[in-house]
Every structure is written in C-alpha cells, then in structure tokens.
C-alpha cells in the first residue's frame, strides 16, 4: 500500500508554494513514498518515555536591552528587490 497519494502530493505542493506538473507529481509521489517508507523504520523504536530533542545545547532565552541601534537603509533593503516602487517592494495584485 502506498503511504502517500498523488492528491496528497499536490496538496503538500500547494502548502509549500510549489507549482508541480502532472508528471512531477507522479515522480514525487513515487520518490516521497520510498523515502517515507524508509523513515518508518523509526517505528521499530519505543519512544513513549523519551523527550524530544529540539536543540543539542542547553539553551535559554537570549535577551538584551531594547535599545535603538543602526538598521539597514531603505536603499540597502531595496538593493536586491526584483520589483519596487517608491521605496517599497512591489508585488502582483493581492485583492481582486
């Protein structure tokens, strides 16, 4: 039985903001199914009483004084913008 369907792959692609063709969706279904199948070997392990590791070091919140510091200028921030207008990032229509 397959672990992931082509419909699911299309849904995940939408969530990931990727456009996939019908052929790509088919190939990805096959490849992801194989990788997920391989990942399911983790189920051999009993982890009921194991804490998850999010980070390997003992980290606490790193805080600092809320002081005004230098920040990037508008020109710098715009330097790599694909499209801009009046010092702002320009995007296609959001509202119809």
Partner 1 sequence: MSILDKKISELHQLLHTKELSVTDILDATFDRIHQVDGKVKAFLTLNEEYSRIKAKQLDEKLVSGADRGLLFGMPIGIKDNIVTKGIRTTCASRILENFEPIYDATVVERLNQADTITIGKLNMDEFAMGSSNENSGFHPTHNPWDLSCVPGGSSGASAASVSAGEVLFSLGSDTGGSIRQPAAFCGVVGLKPTYGLVSRYGLVAFASSLDQIGPVTRNVEDNAYLLQAIAGNDPMDSTSAKVDIPDYLASFTGDVKGLKIAVPKEYLGEGVEPGVKERIMEALKVLEGLGATWEEVSLPHSRYALATYYLLSSSEASANLSRFDGVRYGLRSDNSDNLIEMYKQSRSEGFGEEVKRRIMLGTFALSSGYYDAYYKKAQKVRTLIKEDFTNIFEKYDVIIGPTTPSASFKCGSMTKDPLTMYMNDILTIPVNLAGVPAISVPCGFSDGLPIGLQIIGKHFDESTIYRVAHAFEQATDHHKEKPKL
Residues that bind partner 1 (CB under 8 A): 4, 8-9, 12-13, 15-20, 28, 31-32, 34-36, 38-45, 47, 50-57, 59, 62, 64, 72, 76-77, 79-83, 89, 91-94
Q: How near is the Cβ of 12 to partner 1 at its closest, in Å?
A: 5
3-state secondary structure of 9: helix
What's the closest the beta carbon of residue 19 comes to partner 1, in angstroms? Answer: 4
Torsion angle, CA of 16/21/26/29, rounded to 10 degrees?
Answer: 0
Nearer to partner 1, 47 or 86 (CB): 47
Strands in the chain per DSSP E: 84-85, 88-89
Q: Which value, to the nearest 10 degrees, does the dihedral of the CA atoms of residues 39, 41, 46, 49 take? A: -10
Q: What is the largest CA-CA distance in the chain?
A: 58
* Residue closer to partner 1 (CB basis): 44 or 66: 44
Minimum Å gap between C-beta 22 and partner 1 is 14
């Amino acid at each position: 039985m397959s672990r992931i369907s082509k419909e699911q792959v299309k849904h995940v692609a939408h969530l990931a903001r990727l456009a996939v063709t019908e052929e790509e969706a088919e190939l990805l279904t096959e490849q992801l199914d194989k990788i997920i199948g391989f990942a399911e070997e983790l189920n051999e392990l009993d982890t009921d009483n194991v804490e998850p590791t999010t980070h390997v070091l003992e980290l606490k919140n790193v805080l600092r004084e809320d002081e005004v510091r230098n920040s990037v200028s508008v020109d710098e921030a715009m330097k790599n913008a694909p499209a801009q207008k009046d010092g702002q990032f320009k995007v296609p229509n959001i509202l119809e």
